[in-house]
Amino acid sequence: MALPSGLEITKEVLDAEIKAFFDLAPPLKNSDDVSQKLEAFVKTNSLLSGTGGARRVVCVTSGGTTVPLEQRCVRYIDNFSSGHRGAASTEYFLKAGYAVIFLHRRGTCQPYCRSLPDDPLLECLEIVDESNIQVHQFHSQAVRSAITKTHAAVAEGLLLKLPFTTIFEYLQMLQMVAFTIKSIGPHAVFYLAAAVSDFYVPWKSMAEHKIQSGSGPLDMRLVQVPKMLLVLRKDWAPMAFCISFKLETDSKILLEKADMALRKYKMHMVVANELSSRKEEVVVVTSNEKILVRQNKSLGVDDVESALIELLVERHAVYVENSDHLTGQQNSSLSG
Amino acid sequence: MALPSGLEITKEVLDAEIKAFFDLAPPLKNSDDVSQKLEAFVKTNSLLSGTGGARRVVCVTSGGTTVPLEQRCVRYIDNFSSGHRGAASTEYFLKAGYAVIFLHRRGTCQPYCRSLPDDPLLECLEIVDESNIQVHQFHSQAVRSAITKTHAAVAEGLLLKLPFTTIFEYLQMLQMVAFTIKSIGPHAVFYLAAAVSDFYVPWKSMAEHKIQSGSGPLDMRLVQVPKMLLVLRKDWAPMAFCISFKLETDSKILLEKADMALRKYKMHMVVANELSSRKEEVVVVTSNEKILVRQNKSLGVDDVESALIELLVERHAVYVENSDHLTGQQNSSLSG
């Protein structure tokens, strides 16, 4: 589907917009630390031999980003997301043998913690006597499982958790992940489940102090966040397998929007989900298919992510094989 | 200080605005449950004899409210607040013998949990063997204290936790608290530490579906949330002792703003705090004083709330005494 001309901006304009976004963004605080962790994580996992070579690494993004409305941030716009999908998907990617970079909104749902109550420490533990604290019988299995599995995944070097809050932090870290993960070519996956702000207030045009509630209404102008997906695909990590998400509340426009995102940003797959039914079913949109994925209650699985990740892992395997084959052909033609 | 005429709206207009706000707000989901809990809590504590009569009850509000931008909420504006001050203050009110209604933003800092890490369950616990989970030595005291003190306060009927998320939920619940707590007259305190949105999008004028990020910037018009403080003081619970907070990032306008709030909303006290120094010091503004309250490091107290609540409890005691005296005079003149 060709997009109407005039709506598209050129790659040069987009590149300039993205450069301006990063140049004007407040600098990432723990940038060196994140960078070191990322490099060590990707290096270790690329040296380990998984099935037929390096271990596959997926960057799962999860939770919503915030957009500050004031520089000394009191008010901000937030995108709602519990992070449930990202956390569940991380579990299934780990189960499938992937190493996972879990780029998540601070405070959102963590892998293996989905069945814990909201305030787990106060609700799951009880004091037995002066020297003993124990886990309530009711939560015992969930707590044990959360701790054992999380600690194991981190200890084995298979899970790297990176938290963000603002849109500025998120995009800066996503770029760092891409630059690092680029080295493993088609073995890298981006699974972009985070709810990323479409609009923001540029840092320099932001009110320094708290906006005053004098008399009358508040008018705000937000500008569009430059679309980074295309640049992620083209420049940041061109060989990585990319899956993005499209969430809508209006099912009538959902598939069309997902299809548009697939073409516009050159994604390998777009997962279309509607707000009200997103926990039961999603539609995976590729260049030539629309695959309905539903939770399989008859198998006792109460989430849709199990079947979704199974499908994605299959498709990624084919992608890796084709890429290897292509590289092999190139190598033999080079050596021939 | 007289306010410039023309900026003030009449009580009738305000009442109409507030009625419209509540009429058009989405109904509170667990309204009956909240109402029952509140009535039982206030009744029990008003029957218990504290110092010289009924136990004092304080409603501590804590954390920020959200303003949905879409009816099927994907995006919203949030007011930043960790809820640290509300949680700390609740601990000191309980210590001073008050019963506390902790009206807090879901997921913010809880009383007695201030020294726990962000993700307490995963960070504080470790698996010893198949049947035992234990608390890390390092966090042992903090975890024990959090659980013991919280469970004790709840079990003794001294702590009622009520969570909110949106501005609609917050104001509906605040009104319910006020209507219930009104029965104990001057023994009731409102300690309004929550960061409440000044602007909102009226539910009926809100986009039903997710706002589309087509081309161009997003312009938004937010209207002012009707100022409920004055009505809380005048109508909802006229005998309650009311303390509100004023947070600014600009210290130059802070005291003037606090003073204005005190007069405009007939508060008994306004706690003025500046974003950058709010953990070390605040200024308590009354009709004839400005009292600087600082954390007392020499006494090994690392928060400002300890001294702040001590001051407020003293002033509330005087207020109760004066009210009782007044009531006594009225009674004797009635009987005379």
Q: Taking CB atoms and an 8 Å cutoff, what residues of chain B touch A7? A: 215
The torsion angle over the Cα atoms of residues B144, B146, B148 and B150, rounded to 10 degrees, is -170
H or E segment and range at residue B192: strand B188-192
In the A/B pair of chains, how many CB contacts fall below 8 A? 169
For residue B1, the model assigns a pLDDT of 38
Contact with chain B for residue A223, Cβ under 8 A? yes
pLDDT per residue as tens digits for the range A276-334: 899 999 999 999 999 999 998 777 778 999 999 999 999 999 999 999 777 666 655 55
- pLDDT in the model for residue B287: 95
| DSSP states along A281-322 | EEEEE-SS-EEEEE--GGGT---SHHHHHHHHHHHHHHHHHH
- On average, the pLDDT of chain A sits at 88
Does residue A215 surpass a pLDDT of 70? no
Residues of B in contact with A120 (CB under 8 A): 120-121
B40 interface with A at CB cutoff 8 Å: no
Q: Tell me which residues of chain A, numbers 114 to 133, contact chain B at a CB-CB cutoff of 8 Å.
A: 116, 118-122, 124-127, 133
The mean pLDDT of chain B is: 88
**Nearest C-alpha of chain A: how many angstroms from B303?**
21
SS (H, E, C) A133-190: EEECHHHHHHHHHHHHHHHHHHHCCCEEEEEECEHHHHHHHHHHHHHHHHHHHHHEEE
Nearest CA of chain B to the CA of A119: how many Å? 8
Provide, as residue numbers in chain B, all residues whose Cβ is less than 8 Å from the Cβ of A134.
Answer: 133
Answer whether residue B276 shows pLDDT above 90.
no
**Distance of residue A138 Cα from the nearest chain B Cα, in angstroms:** 14
In angstroms, the CA A92 to CA B307 distance is: 51
The answer for A207, left when phi > 0, alpha when psi is -120 to 50, beta otherwise, is beta
- Decide which of B250 and B16 is more confident: B16
Show the domains of chain A with their CATH numbers.
11-112+157-209+220-331 (3.40.50.10300)
Q: Across the interface, which of A134, A217, A223 has its CB nearest the CB of B223?
A: A217
Probe site for chain A from B122, B220, B245 (most A CB atoms < 10 A): B122
Q: What is the mean pLDDT of residues B13-20?
A: 92
Give the tens place of pLDDT for each residue, A118-164.
Answer: 788 888 888 887 777 888 888 888 998 899 999 999 999 999 999 99
Residues 259-298 of B with CB under 8 A from A: 275-276
pLDDT of amino acid B184:
94
In the predicted structure, residue B213 carries a pLDDT above the cut 90: no
Distance from CA of B42 to the nearest CA of A (A): 24
Pairing of strands B75-79, B66-68: antiparallel
* Nearest CB to B7 within list A78, A215, A276: A215
Position B110 scores a pLDDT of 95
Structure confidence at residue A1 (pLDDT): 38
pLDDT at A10: 85
CA distance B310 to B315: 9
Q: Minimal Cα distance from A6: which residue of B?
A: B215
State residue B126's pLDDT score: 86
Q: Which residues in chain A have their CB less than 8 angstroms from residue B118's CB?
A: 106-107
Residue A291 pLDDT: 96
Q: Which of A102, A109, A125 to mutate to test the interface with B (most CBs of B within 10 A)?
A: A125
Closest-CA distance of chain B to residue A182, Å:
29
The number of residues making up chain A comes to 336
On the question of pLDDT at B223 being above 70, the answer is yes
Q: Which of A14-18, A98-102, A133-137, B83-87 has the lowest mean pLDDT?
A: A133-137
Q: Which of A264, A252, A247 is nearest to A2 (CA)?
A: A264
Note whether B89 and B308 are within 8 A (CB).
yes
